Amino acid sequence: MTRQLRVDWPACHGRGLCHELLPEIVELDEWGYPIVTGPVPDALRADAETAVSSCPRLALRLVKP
Amino acid sequence: MSEGPLLWYLNRATGLTLLVLLTASVVLGVLSTGGRPGRGLPVFVTQHVHRNVALLSVVALVVHVLTAVGDGFVDIRWWQAVQPFGATYEPLWLGLGALSLDLIVVVVVTSALRTRLSHRAWRSVHYAAWVAWVCALAHTLGIGTDVGHGRLWAVAPTAACVLAVCLAAGLRLSRWQESSHLPAGRTS
Amino acid sequence: MNAPPVPYPDEIRVHPGPALLAGIERGPSLTAHRQQYGDLAWVDVDTLLELVNGVALRGRGGAAFPFARKLETVAGRARRSRRPVVVVNLSEGESASSKDAALALTRPHLVLDGAVATARALGATEIHVVLPAERAFAGRRMREAVAERSGGPPLLLHTAEPRFVAGQSTAVIELISGRPNLPVTSWRPDAVSGLDGRPTLLSNGETWAHVGLLVLQGGASFRRLGNAAEPGTALLTVTGSHRLPHVHEVEYGARLRDVLPDDAAGAPALIGGFHGSWAAWPTVANARVSVPGMRLLGVPLGAGVVHAPGPSVCPLALSARIVAYLAGQSAGRCGPCLNGLPALSAAMDRVTNGHGGRARLEELAQLVVRRGACAHPDGTVRLVRSVFAALPGEVSAHAAGGCLRTPEGLAS
């Protein structure tokens, strides 16, 4: 089942770990903030969960679309 | 095995190692807080090495405590490793070591449960890591046998650790001022 | 804090109307209100649902969300251990809108009756009323009205902080919770989990007034107004240059131009407030007040804000000033909004001054939409895009270094 990455925008400080861990579905805009380009495929599910727990601001969540 | 100097030597060795590991953890922790994406090592690498070094120091801490309690040369009881007062042997310096251990336990446990806490709560507790390091340093200087005897191979690394943490603290303070995620000109 | 291009008024004109604003000449007191409408009956949730479904009541805060769905959700989630909450949002952070202030001035008890009846039906333990920061006259009158009432769930008053985004629903919940009045990420709708995780029925003041009228009078008189597809009325705030805001109650289906001043004729108008859309005069002239109808025209009605500055005001220059104001009104916490809106404003200025940069403007627009805790960047982008969609002639003139509105060039 696909999941979607959602950013908690007031918490995000643009540290970029999510992009480092999931370059396939997270790009960075010109100010360093994440652009989620698509849903999380099953193959990347584990990486997405790592990104969620590694976010220094806990600003990322995995939700049902 | 409580007679003979083996445990005592192991205790001293793990003590110094522990200070170095704690220092490395603090430095890596500070390095994890800043940096723009794309510069140098990926931030998640620094963050994960920080966590692994911190866990290694917990292992060293456990051995350090086990050997201190197990060794018969001085009288240190189990509870004196966690209660920062009331010891018979060097109560002040040992107590500081116990305080450091208590703070390290709290920091490690809250970090393991980080995703279940609010970010603010986790961060407030995590600042105690600095206090834990200072207590560990005081414990080293006060009760550390080799540092106490002025042996260079112990004093030099200790001094290097102090320098490293001072630099890390300076870097951390400068990043606090920076509020780097705001565009130029905005103050809040 | 930068001042809005359409100033917050110290005074407004409220015109009598067929439903909400009927009998306002008798004054706003509770006595006059009860004389006109009688006592507030106790209704249960099912009766209330029947009433609001019977007229397909939509929220009047701008999103036009079906009220019945909110009510059902809150009623369904209510438990003894998780009592629902009712919130009346009168914060009206949009300076060009004055309809909520008009209700506070002339019909506060209609608003409160709606909230009280709903709170009783739901078993809510408290009603929170959020007053505007900038319109002290409205806040004062509402406080007086609250003081006149007794019985029913307690009415707790709060005053919004003076900013544009203060009225956003999560910002309102934050204010009531004792935190700064700023939007936060909403992981679940307020009706499911709002204040303290409780099911929260938050609606705009005008919506509550309609609910009040339905409970006091029933649905028949509501359905006699408007038309079969869209029964009832809506409050519109009409502003222009150099005049006080006028608040009118119009039936759905009425011609928009009937409430516009004569000096607005021939010129574009901004519909839906600062997060709204420009409409060229022919569109304005033919428009009928209607939620789906105006959405089809590309100028959603929103919260009924109509700014008709007249032929001598340059809509591009005004839009650039609005975008600059909105950029300054960012809550300052979401990176794309905090960084993107000032950049958008700079790009808008460049285009307005004939220095090009349309592509950059659109690039920035795409970078800020749906990337924030609230719809502030999205609304700003809607405004910007509407300039190009509705006013191509003006845009071309500016691209060539001139302006259709002021022969001398650009003046505000």
Indicate whether B185 pLDDT > 60: no
Interface contacts A/C by beta carbons within 8 Å = 42
Chains contacting A (3+ CB pairs below 8 angstroms)? B, C
pLDDT value of residue B179: 59
Q: Rounded to a whole number, what is the distance in Å from the CA of C362 to chain A's nearest CA?
A: 15
Task: Check pLDDT > 90 for residue C402.
Answer: no
Q: Is C216 helix (H, G, I), strand (E, B) or coil?
A: helix
**Secondary element (H or E) of residue B92:** helix B91-112
Percent of chain C with pLDDT over 70: 98
- Which pLDDT does position B86 carry in this prediction? 84
pLDDT band at C269 (very low <50, low <70, confident <90, very high): very high
User: Which element (helix H / strand E) includes C206?
Assistant: helix C205-217
Give me the CATH code for the C315-399 domain, please: 1.20.1440.230
What is the helix (H) or strand (E) element at residue C270, kind and residue range? Answer: strand C269-271
Statement: residue B182 has pLDDT above 60: no
Nearest-neighbour CA in chain B from C175: distance (Å): 19
| Across B89-105, average pLDDT | 93
Nearest to B67 by CA among B102, B18, B100: B18
Which of B181, B183, B188 lies at the smallest CB-CB distance from C342? B183
To the question of domain A4-63 being in CATH 3.30.70.20, the answer is: yes
CA neighbor of C270 nearest in space, from C241, C299, C246: C299
Contact C332 B186 (CB under 8 A): yes
* Chain A residues in contact with B47 (beta carbon < 8 A): 17, 54, 56
Chain A contact for B185, CB < 8 A? Answer: no
Whether the model clears a pTM of 0.80, i.e. scores above it, the answer is: yes
- For residue C409, what pLDDT is reported? 45
Test the A interface: residue of C179, C339, C363 with most A CBs within 10 Å: C339
Which of the other chains make 3 or more beta carbon contacts under 8 angstroms with chain B? A, C
Q: What is the spatial distance between Cα C331 and Cα C346, in angstroms, rounded to a whole number?
A: 19
**Residue boundaries of the structural domains of chain A:** 4-63
Rounded CA separation B45/A25 (Å): 19
Find residue C233's DSSP bridge partners.
C251
Residue of chain B whose alpha carbon sits nearest to that of C330: B188
Interface B-C: count of C-beta contacts within 8 A: 9
Question: Is the predicted ipTM greater than 0.90, yes or no?
Answer: yes
The pLDDT of C372-394, averaged and rounded, is 96
Average model confidence (pLDDT) across chain C: 95
B116 in contact with A, Cβ within 8 Å: no
Find chain C residues with C-beta within 8 A of A31's C-beta.
335-336, 339-340
In the predicted model, what is the mean pLDDT of residues C59-67?
Answer: 95
**Is A15 in contact with B48 (Cβ distance < 8 A)?**
no
Who among C184, C333, C336 is closest to A29 (CB)? C336
Mean pLDDT value of segment A16-33: 95
Which residues, numbered 125 to 184 in chain B, qualify as contacts with chain C under a Cβ-Cβ cut-off of 8 Å?
Answer: 181-183
Summarised one tens digit per residue, pLDDT across range B142-168 is 998 888 888 898 999 999 999 999 999
Banded model confidence at residue C408, pLDDT cuts 50, 70, 90: low
Best mutation target among B186, B187, B188 (most C Cβ atoms within 10 Å) is: B186
Please name the residues in contact with C45: beta carbons below 8 A apart, sequence gap of 6 or more. Answer: C71, C75, C121, C122
- Alpha-helical runs (H) found in C232-375: 281-286, 291-297, 315-328, 335-352, 358-368
- Looking at residues C377-403, what average pLDDT do you find? 95
Q: What is the average pLDDT across A18-39? A: 95
Q: Which CATH class is domain C13-223?
A: alpha beta
Please name the amino acid found at residue C272. Answer: G
- The answer to whether C233 and C250 have CB atoms below 8 angstroms apart is yes
Q: Cβ of C338 under 8 Å from any chain B Cβ?
A: yes
Q: How high is the pLDDT of residue B188?
A: 35
The answer to whether residues B89 and B75 touch, using CB atoms and an 8 Å cutoff, is yes
Mean of pLDDT values over A50-58: 94
Task: Name the residue of chain C whose CA is nearest to A8's CA.
Answer: C185
C183 and A CB contact within 8 Å: yes
pLDDT at B1: 46
C75-132 residue pLDDT tens: 999 988 899 999 999 999 999 999 999 999 999 999 999 999 999 999 999 999 999 9
Q: Please indicate whether, in this complex, the C-beta atoms of A31 and C184 are within 8 angstroms of each other.
A: no
Residues on chain C touching A6 (C-beta within 8 angstroms): 185
The pLDDT value recorded for residue C241 is 82
What's the pLDDT tens digit per position in B68-79?
Answer: 998 878 888 888
Alpha carbon B149 to its chain's center: 23
CA of A23, closest CA in chain B: separation in Å?
12
The token pair that represents C67 in the structure block? 């009220």
Q: Could you give the CA distance from residue C103 to residue B29 in angstroms, rounded to a whole number?
A: 56
Task: Report which secondary-structure segment, H or E, holds C136.
Answer: helix C136-148
Q: What is the mean pLDDT of residues C338-342?
A: 97
pLDDT in tens, C241-263: 878 999 999 999 999 999 999 98
Please tell me the predicted confidence (pLDDT) of residue B37: 52
Strands (DSSP E) contained in C50-168 are 85-89, 127-131, 155-159
If you average pLDDT over residues C149-155, what whole number do you get?
92
CATH 3.40.50.11540 placement within chain C: 13-223
CB distance C371 to C336 below 8 Å: yes
Whether residues B181 and C342 touch (CB distance < 8 A) is answered with no
% chain B with pLDDT above 70: 89
- Ranking B75-89, C126-140, C170-184, C357-371 by mean pLDDT, the lowest is B75-89
Average of per-residue pLDDT across C186-193: 95
Which residues of chain C does CATH 1.20.1440.230 include?
315-399
Pick from B44, B45, B188 the residue to mutate for testing the A interface (most A CBs within 10 Å): B44
Does residue A65 sit at the C interface (CB-CB below 8 Å)?
no
